[in-house]
Structures are given as C-alpha cells and as structure tokens.
Chains A and B, each alone.
Chain A
C-alpha cells in the first residue's frame, strides 16, 4: 500500500521477473546481447539514484526481489511474467523453480504465471496441461519473439497457437499477457504488427489479453484494436519510466490510453528487474498531465487507484481490503471479461 495526501493506494505490480543472466547461464552471444539491451533500458530510463551495477543487474535472487518490491516498493501483490528464452540461456531466462517456490512461500503476495510456445506442438500441449495443474495457473506470459530452431518468432493466430489458447480456455488460464517483440515473419511485414491480437481477442472472448508496453512502438494499432475488443487491456511495462525521462510524453501515452480504452483496462507494472517499483509508484501518484497538453483531461485520483492496482486485482481476483476499494457506486474494472 502507498499513502499520500490522505489517499491510500492498493498496488499490484502486474509484470515482474526473477531472471538469471549471469555468465554461467549464457548459452551464446545472444544471451549477453539480450541482457545488455535490458541493462541499457534500465540505465537510460532510470533516475540516477536508482541505477544498479551491471553485476547486480544480472541476477537478483528471491531475498532482494522481496525487498525491492514489497519492503521498499509499496507493492501489495506482484505477478511473475517469465520469459523462457531457452535458445539464449542454459537454464532459461526466467527462473521457474525459484520464482514458483517464492510464490508458494508468499501466496498472499505473489502470483506465478508461466509461459508456452506453440512450436513445441503436441508435447508442449501436454506440458501446458501439467504446468496448469502444478502452478495453478491463472495467467500466462507469451513472448512471441522467442527463437526456436530455424524460427525466430510466432504469431498468436498460428494454427498451433489456437490449439494452445483453446487448452488455456479449458484449463481456466484466463489472463494472457503478450509481449510483442520484433517477431513477424516473413520480414516483409512490420515486425511489431499487433493484428494477431485482434484475431485471437475476437475468437477467445473468455480470455483477457493484456498487451505489454501498450503496443509500443505501435500504440495507434493497439488503441484501435482495444476499442473494438473489450477483452484487450494495456500493460504499462516499459512505458512507465518515461514518467521520469519524458514526463510530457508519458502524459500523452496515458492521455491516449484513457481516451481510447478508458480507466478500467490499464495496468501498472514496473517490469522488475528492468526497473524497481518504488519510484514509479511515487512518481505516478504525483503525476499530472501537463497543462500545455490541453487535448487531455486531468488525471483523477480514482483513475490512478485503478491503474496502480484495482484493475489487475479485479482481473486476478486478488482480495483488496475494504478501505482501499473505491466507493461501491463506482463500478470497478467493469470491462474485465
């Protein structure tokens, strides 16, 4: 919980990771390129006081994660969204066993989502059924830019992807977080195209699709799809830290999202460990859309409360103490499918 100016905020960090990019886990040069790319995002967009050493950045471990997110980060509940990256890291990037054990030790604080890759075919489907049972999955993280043999990406509307989504629906894995990387093959087309989200959102109306970094760098395509599909949501991973480096630009992103999809379908996340939640939560509570952007209405406290936690809590059935909920007459996250 975070309190400021007599207002209390219930905080859900909807996208965190427990990763291992230390040298002994690198499979090849691409593992190093990947974590270096993350580290550049971290260094470039964090306030100076929040920048970690490269060594700290390679691996955090459970104790540090608990401290950064809960002891210091104001967060009430956080959701693991692991990327597998088996082609880059020997034991994968997201540390499944370690993160799951942590979630089991702190079930009130942590939810573990897992991932799948439809290119594993029947065997992967069988694994998905086992994972759903073992991890009691409510959600999954899909990184469509995973490499796999000769393939360097997949689309949500591939035939095998449909089979996995059908299984997810049957297994009660309702919340599908999508991280669009430069993935679309053939390369003739725009690699960040989000059109496949449109198709699966139409065909799987029982599932929620949370598009991380709100479709950036294709915000316009994302917003247009989200206005058509009530089960498409915006995750603020990667967009959040602009609040520090480019506050005016951050105001434009939030202003656009509120205009196109409204206050019930936007979720806060720090994208830990790319960034830490404390400063992001504090800055967001203090944030206001700059006056010169007269095309947007000011951001309200109710909107901030929904974005910082109540929306994701509603999607994941996370209990919110009565005093931290909004007054009853105002519907919360009415659009959650």
Chain B
C-alpha cells in the first residue's frame, strides 16, 4: 500500500459518531495531500452549523489516526467552512485538546458523548435485524428469545456484531440479541416497548444521515470527495 492509500485507510477508521459511519464514506474528506512525511487533510461538513463538538471529534480523531502512522512527520488537519473553523483549526494546530480548544464551553471531556452514541448505534443495529425478522413473520412474543446464532450471516448481522464489540458485548451464538448496553435482557412484558424505543432511535439516526448526505451533496455539487464517493444509499430500514 502506498502512503496515500495508508493515509486514506487510517481515515476510514474515523467515524461520525452521530451517523455511525466512516467520514470517508460520508464524503467529509474534502482533500488529502501526501508529500513525503507531510500529510494535509481538509474536512468539510454538510452545513456551517453542524454541532461543533462532533465537528471537533472527527477532526481531532483524523489527526490522531494520521499521526499514528509510523511514516508521518507533520500532520495538518483543517475543517473548512464551519462557523467554528477558526477556533477548531487553531486548537488542532496547537494540539490544544478539547478543553484547550473550547475553553469555557468545555467542561471535562467528550468521552461521555462518544459512549452515548456508541450505545445508540448498537440500539439501531439491533432494531434493524429484529424488525427484519418481524416482517418475515417472527411473532412479537418471541423477540426476546432471538439469539445471535439465529441471525443470518450478512451485512446487518456483521454490523450488529461490530456495534456490540464497540460497547464491550460478546459475539457468542447463544447470546440474546435484544439487550441493553450492558447486555442485560428485558422482562417479557417489556420487550415490545423496548423494540419500539429502539426503532425510534434507528429512525432518528437514519433521518439524520439522509439530511447530512443530501445537504453535503447540495452544498458541494462540483466537488466529489477525495476519500471515496458519498454513496447515496437508502439505509437498511
């Protein structure tokens, strides 16, 4: 793999926590320039008013991912066209960290925010596989009994397993699918409600992804992304 490909692969691991997709697939990588050990990345977002905490997370994760490559000597990551571009770019250049970047608007860290969205991503992935089984004829009363071993070997199942791993849940075939973030199952009478709540979470994430992909394509009509095409695919629903 050439150095440019390695840099792109590193950016593949940077996830938009809100949409639960890599920034490269979302088209957020506007440009990537590699010159020896120097890497310069420009990021772009669907609107100027995307939430600054998520914007910072993706930009600082990008820098971390590139700095971690053994051959990089100088990494510059800049966020373009955002209402906080100046603030965030200054913080990234100085390696000021989250609190150093946002000063009085930051309290402690963004770890809790990340965890919240990892849990939501798991909830949505769980709902996708279970709703599919319901539509195929599974009785609602049997939802709580579905285990990982009952799921087909496909993308939706693999996505669920990745989200489970991200919050520390196992992949054993005997493990129940409908669980909370700690892996705990629900009482039988709670099961239908819990699936409904999970569905609302999944619809929120899907809707947000529709907005973001659409707005990005409208905002930058003449600039295909450098990290891979922004794929306009209907989320599995």
Residues of chain A at the chain B interface (Cβ within 8 Å): 30, 33-34, 36-37, 40-41, 43-45, 145, 150, 152, 181-182, 185-192, 216-220, 223-224, 242, 245-246, 248-249, 252-253, 256, 259-260, 292, 294-295
Contact = CB atoms under 8 A, between A and B. Distances in A.
Nearest to B111: A188
A295 to B, nearest CB: 7
Interface stretch (B26-34, B143-151, B205-213): B205-213
Given A34-B48, A220-B201, A249-B207, A40 B237 contact: no
A245 B135 CA distance: 24
The 8 closest A-B pairs by CB, nearest first: A33-B48, A220-B200, A182-B51, A186-B107, A217-B208, A44-B218, A187-B53, A219-B204
A187 B200 contact: no
B204 A45 contact: no
Given A216-B207, A217-B205, 17 more contacts: A33-B83, A40-B47, A43-B218, A45-B214, A186-B108, A188-B106, A189-B113, A191-B51, A219-B207, A220-B200, A224-B197, A245-B214, A248-B237, A249-B203, A252-B203, A256-B203, A260-B200
A186 B83 CA distance: 17
Contacts of A245: 210, 214
B138 interface: no
B48 A37 contact: yes
Name the interface size band of chain B. Answer: 35 or more
A36 B205 CA distance: 24
B109 interface: yes
B50 A219 contact: no
A223 B215 contact: no
Contacts of A187: 52-53, 56, 98, 102, 105-107, 110
B49 interface: yes
B50 A216 contact: no
A185 B105 contact: yes
B113 A44 contact: no
A294 B48 contact: no
A254 to B, nearest CB: 11
B157 interface: no
Interface in B37-80: 46-54, 56
Given A216-B204, A249-B210, A256 B108 contact: no
Interface string B81-117: 1010000000000000010001011111110110011
B116 to A, nearest CB: 6
A36 B237 contact: no
Contact of B134 (A44, A242, A295): A295
Contacts of A145: 49
A187 to B, nearest CB: 4
B144 to A, nearest CB: 17
Interface string B194-235: 001101110111111011001101110000000000000010
